[in-house]
């Protein structure tokens, strides 16, 4: 891989549901080790863009490349399935509502995919689960069921589950939005730890202070386009676009009020 | 598929289907009566009535309907109960389905919000008045659909009387299978008639359900 | 002719054997109906239309007709097709298929009700659609419907009495054989009723245990 090949490369991403265009010709690159936050009002297309990166919500047109390999290739069904399953093993994803598998224990949630897709033995998988759960501080709950965990604990397990596939890229879709305020921090800490380990991350969030403190770059989306992007210091303190200013004014006011 | 045969025997099946309809109507009516009585007993203030209601439900739901039918029809004469096969079928199956209907009705009654009774009592209605005027009208609406499920099961359940030689649809199909050696044709013929009865009944029940549903 | 229960104990062995057969038929048919129900649900939801549509028609036909009629069809139909199976096997197939159709309806609804996020999370990890169905969606759907499937199994136990009509020797037939010798229908049908009631209680206890054990993982 040469210096010129971006790690993640989104080209002319466009998506429409009927007449409603939710993504309008978006171009975006992310380098290896970079941490990018996507912010914007609901309906701005930020989650749709994130979910297009691993082709969970396929684009209407445009390309997504990971290390120069196109993720959303047009292939006959069987070949596409083989290709996308292979690609997704390299792209971890964390959801707003955790989506832990309720019928499996914490351990089994983490080991299921590595055992099934990478052929890990029980012993190897157990060791992997122990490592990954230690990493997110969930070792003690390894044999619990998801229903026995708090929201913050669930989300940490979900992160461990994604990390167990040794992904090159992590996608976070409003990972803390469904959590009670007092549980947000424990998940943020895990994400900060990943940032320190130089994991490449794309984070859709509405937590401005988290984005400001952890991310290298902030992207503000509205109405299906990227309105403004840059380092957090610039986007948050000196936004150039009127729409960004409006959004931040509302959000920071809300934030100030809720933290009173 | 032997169409000629079907055309030849279908009048017998139609006649038998009428018997199945008759059995269904009578067993369901008896079941509703037993069910209402037992549901009332199970919700009564008196422990003895509650016990009798619970015992009826538990016994009837704990043994096969066929065994109860045989007990009544073949064993009845030993204790002075002489019934024709048709009568035994109606009474035996009616009492049996009544136990299932008891639970349906009771479930509907206890699922009416507790606040409703409290509100009625606050207005000064007696316990009976509040049940009669407030709880029951709401519960009746709730129980139509689940009773529909009981009724659907009972229409098929009437086939059991074939085992005591009542000439209804299943018995007729069985006899014609034995005499013609055409099990598939006879099954289809009887099956279509059952489906017609069940579909029409289902439509009637959902019509009733829609009619009484609150806006 | 009054009642005389003193004749019953001399047939205790035959009745006990009938109990064992009833339990055996119930267990084998219940297993068939459980796994058949899962298979049918998958076919009805995901099968190619050439299989799916006729399958749905037959499911509709089976749900609208009495078990007894179906038992006659299977028993005589197999003979007609030149397949000579012991009555026990015909009875198990009849009971198993009948309840598999009912279980399949429950499982289909449950599969469609599993949170969409579960499939997404599994696909995100790189599982194929089939792998995600087998590992994630279907186990949850089945777990969700264990209580109503349990009710179907209780119904199956009671409906197993019907296979006596096609000559499967189980509890009902044992009682009938004893009646044939003694002409005491009330005593033996009452005895059979008590035995069914006891088996029923045992089965309910087992099902409650299974329900409790699956409770945690929801």
Instruction: Provide the domain count of chain B.
Output: 1
What confidence category does residue B101 fall into, taking pLDDT thresholds of 50, 70 and 90?
very high
Q: Test A148 with C118 for CB contact under 8 angstroms.
A: no
Partner residue opposite A165 with nearest CB, options C115, C125, C216: C125
pLDDT given at position A60? 93
- Rg, C-alpha atoms of chain A: 19
pLDDT given at position A3? 54
pLDDT given at position A22? 93
10 Å CB burial of residue A194 (0-12, 13-18, 19+) is buried
Q: What is the DSSP letter of C10?
A: G
Q: Test C64 with B195 for CB contact under 8 angstroms.
A: yes
pLDDT given at position C218? 59
Q: Which residue of A has its CA nearest to C140?
A: A103
Q: Test C131 with A86 for CB contact under 8 angstroms.
A: no
According to DSSP, the residues that pair with A230 across neighbouring strands are: A218
How far is the C-alpha of A197 from the C-alpha of A40, rounded, in Å? 27
> Do residues C91 and C171 make contact, with C-beta atoms less than 8 angstroms apart?
no
Q: Which residue of A has its CA nearest to C130?
A: A81
- Residues on chain A bordering chain C, Cβ-to-Cβ distance under 8 angstroms: 54, 56, 81, 85-86, 88-89, 91-93, 95, 97, 99-105, 112-113, 116-117, 145, 147-148, 158, 161-162, 165
Determine the residue among A56, A80, A96, A99 to mutate to test chain C binding: the one whose Cβ has the most chain C Cβ atoms within 10 Å.
Answer: A99
CA triple C15-C16-C22, angle to 5 deg: 85
pLDDT given at position C100? 95
- Number of A:C CB contacts under 8 A? 72
Residues of chain C contacting residue A56, judged by C-beta atoms under 8 Å apart: 120, 123-124
Residues of chain B contacting residue C76, judged by C-beta atoms under 8 Å apart: 177-178, 181, 183
Q: Is C184 left (phi over 0), alpha (psi -120 to 50) or beta?
A: beta
Q: What is the CATH number of domain C5-216?
A: 1.10.3720.10
CATH number at residue B134: 1.10.3720.10
- Number of B:C CB contacts under 8 A? 121
Q: Which residues contact B6 (CB under 8 A, 6 or more apart)?
A: B185, B188, B189
Max Cα–Cα distance, chain C, nearest Å: 75
Q: Which residues contact A177 (CB under 8 A, 6 or more apart)?
A: A96, A205, A206
> Do residues A155 and A173 make contact, with C-beta atoms less than 8 angstroms apart?
no
Neighbours of C15 (CB within 10 A): 21
pLDDT given at position C83? 84
Domain boundaries, chain C: 5-216
Domain region containing B198:
3-213
The DSSP secondary structure of B63-116, one letter per residue, reads S-HHHHHHHHHHHGGGGT----HHHHHHHHHHHHHHHHHHHHHHHHHHTS-HHH
Q: Which residues of chain C have pLDDT under 70?
A: 1, 216-218
Mean pLDDT score, B196-207: 94
pLDDT single digits (tens) C48-99: 889 999 988 889 988 999 999 999 888 888 888 888 888 899 999 999 999 9
> Do residues A245 and A239 make contact, with C-beta atoms less than 8 angstroms apart?
yes
Max Cα–Cα distance, chain A, nearest Å: 56
> Do residues A110 and C147 make contact, with C-beta atoms less than 8 angstroms apart?
no
Residues of chain B contacting residue C184, judged by C-beta atoms under 8 Å apart: 78
- Residues on chain B bordering chain C, Cβ-to-Cβ distance under 8 angstroms: 59, 62-68, 70-71, 74-79, 156-160, 162-163, 169-170, 173-174, 177-178, 181-184, 187, 190-191, 194-195, 198-199
- Residues on chain C bordering chain B, Cβ-to-Cβ distance under 8 angstroms: 1-3, 60-61, 64-70, 72-73, 76-77, 79-80, 158-162, 164-165, 172, 175, 179, 184-187, 189-190, 192-193, 196-197, 200-201
Q: What is the pLDDT along chain A (260 residues), one digit of tens a residue?
A: 445 678 999 999 999 988 899 999 999 999 999 999 999 998 899 999 999 999 999 999 999 999 999 999 999 988 999 999 999 999 999 999 999 988 889 999 999 999 988 999 999 999 999 999 999 999 999 999 999 999 999 999 999 999 999 999 999 999 999 899 889 999 999 999 999 999 999 999 988 889 999 999 999 999 999 999 999 989 988 899 999 999 988 877 655 554 43
Which helix (H) or strand (E) segment is A30 a member of?
strand A20-30
Q: Which residues contact A1 (CB under 8 A, 6 or more apart)?
A: A67, A68
Q: How far is CA A239 from the centre of its chain?
A: 24
- Rg, C-alpha atoms of chain C: 21
- Answer yes or no: is pLDDT of B125 > 60: yes
Q: CA nearest B70: which of C192, C67, C17, C182?
A: C192
Determine the residue among C118, C125, C143, C213 to mutate to test chain A binding: the one whose Cβ has the most chain A Cβ atoms within 10 Å.
Answer: C125
> Do residues C69 and C60 make contact, with C-beta atoms less than 8 angstroms apart?
no
Contacting chains of A (3 CB pairs or more, <8 Å) are C
pLDDT single digits (tens) B38-91: 999 998 889 999 999 999 999 999 999 999 999 999 999 999 899 999 999 999
pLDDT given at position C217? 62
pLDDT given at position A255? 53
Neighbours of C208 (CB within 10 A): 12
HSE on the CB side for A181, CA within 13 Å?
3
Residues of chain A contacting residue C118, judged by C-beta atoms under 8 Å apart: 99, 101
Q: Test A88 with C139 for CB contact under 8 angstroms.
A: no
Q: Test A116 with C120 for CB contact under 8 angstroms.
A: no
pLDDT given at position A1? 43
Neighbours of A259 (CB within 10 A): 8
Task: Calculate the average pLDDT of chain B.
Answer: 90
pLDDT given at position C166? 87
Partner residue opposite A116 with nearest CB, options C120, C123, C135: C135
């Amino acid at each position: 891989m040469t210096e010129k090949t971006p790690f993640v490369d989104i080209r002319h991403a466009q998506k429409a549901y009927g007449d409603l265009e939710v993504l309008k010709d978006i171009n975006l690159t992310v380098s290896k080790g970079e941490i990018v936050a996507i912010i914007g009002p609901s309906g701005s297309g930020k989650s749709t863009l994130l979910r297009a990166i691993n082709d969970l919500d396929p684009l209407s047109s445009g390309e997504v490349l990971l290390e120069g390999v196109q993720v959303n290739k047009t292939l006959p069904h069987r070949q596409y399935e083989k290709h996308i399953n292979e690609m997704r093993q390299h792209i971890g994803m964390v959801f707003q509502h955790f989506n832990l598998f309720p019928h499996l224990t914490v351990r089994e949630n983490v080991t299921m995919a590595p055992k099934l897709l990478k052929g890990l033995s029980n012993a190897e998988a157990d060791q992997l689960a122990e490592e990954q759960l230690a990493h997110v501080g969930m070792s003690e709950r390894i044999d619990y069921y998801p229903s026995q965990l708090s929201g913050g604990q669930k989300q940490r397990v979900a992160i461990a589950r994604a990390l167990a596939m040794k992904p090159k890229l992590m996608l976070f879709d409003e990972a803390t939005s469904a959590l009670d305020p007092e549980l947000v921090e424990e998940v943020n800490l895990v994400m900060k730890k990943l940032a320190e380990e130089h994991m490449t991350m794309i984070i859709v969030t509405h937590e401005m202070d988290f984005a400001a403190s952890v991310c290298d770059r902030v992207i503000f989306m509205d109405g299906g386009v990227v309105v403004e992007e840059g380092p957090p210091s610039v986007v948050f303190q000196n936004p150039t676009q009127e729409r960004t200013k409006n959004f931040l004014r509302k959000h920071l006011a809300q934030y100030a009020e809720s933290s009173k | 598929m032997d169409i000629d045969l079907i055309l030849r025997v279908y009048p017998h099946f139609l006649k038998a289907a009428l018997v199945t309809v008759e059995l269904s109507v009578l067993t369901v009516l008896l079941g509703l009566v037993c069910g209402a009585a037992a549901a009332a007993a199970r919700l009564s203030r008196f422990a003895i009535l509650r016990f009798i209601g619970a015992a009826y439900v538990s016994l009837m739901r704990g043994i096969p309907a066929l065994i109860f039918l045989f007990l009544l029809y073949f064993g009845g004469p030993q204790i002075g109960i002489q019934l024709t096969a048709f009568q035994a079928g109606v009474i035996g199956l009616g009492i049996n389905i009544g136990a299932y209907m008891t639970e349906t009705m009771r479930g509907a009654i206890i699922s009416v919000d507790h606040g409703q009774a409290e509100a009625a009592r606050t207005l000064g209605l007696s316990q009976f008045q509040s049940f009669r005027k407030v709880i029951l009208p709401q519960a009746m609406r709730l129980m139509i659909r689940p009773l529909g499920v009981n009724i659907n099961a009972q229409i098929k359940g009437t086939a059991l009387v074939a085992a005591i030689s009542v000439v209804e649809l299943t018995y007729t199909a069985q006899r014609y299978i034995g005499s013609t050696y055409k099990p598939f044709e006879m099954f289809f013929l009887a099956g279509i008639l059952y489906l017609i009865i069940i579909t029409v009944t289902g439509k009637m029940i959902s019509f009733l359900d829609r009619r009484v549903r609150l806006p | 002719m009054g009642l005389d229960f003193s004749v019953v104990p001399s047939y205790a062995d035959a009745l006990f054997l009938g109990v064992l057969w009833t339990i055996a038929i119930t267990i084998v048919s219940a297993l068939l109906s459980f796994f058949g129900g899962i298979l049918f649900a998958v076919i009805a939801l995901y099968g190619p239309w050439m299989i799916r549509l006729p399958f749905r028609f037959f499911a509709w036909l089976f749900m609208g007709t009495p078990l007894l009629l179906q038992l006659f069809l299977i028993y005589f139909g197999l003979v007609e097709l030149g397949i000579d199976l012991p009555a026990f096997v015909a009875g198990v197939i009849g009971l198993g298929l009948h309840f598999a159709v009912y279980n399949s309806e429950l499982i289909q609804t449950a599969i469609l009700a599993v949170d969409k996020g579960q499939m997404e999370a599994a696909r995100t990890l790189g599982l194929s659609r089939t792998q995600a169905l087998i590992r994630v969606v279907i186990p949850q759907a089945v777990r969700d419907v264990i209580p109503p499937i349990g009710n179907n199994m209780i119904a199956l136990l009671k409906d197993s009495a019907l296979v006596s009509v096609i000559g499967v020797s189980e509890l009902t037939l044992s009682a009938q054989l004893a009646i044939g010798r003694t002409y005491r229908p009330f005593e033996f049908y009452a005895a059979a009723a008590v035995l069914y009631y006891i088996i029923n209680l045992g089965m309910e206890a087992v099902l409650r245990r299974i329900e409790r054990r699956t409770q945690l993982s929801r």
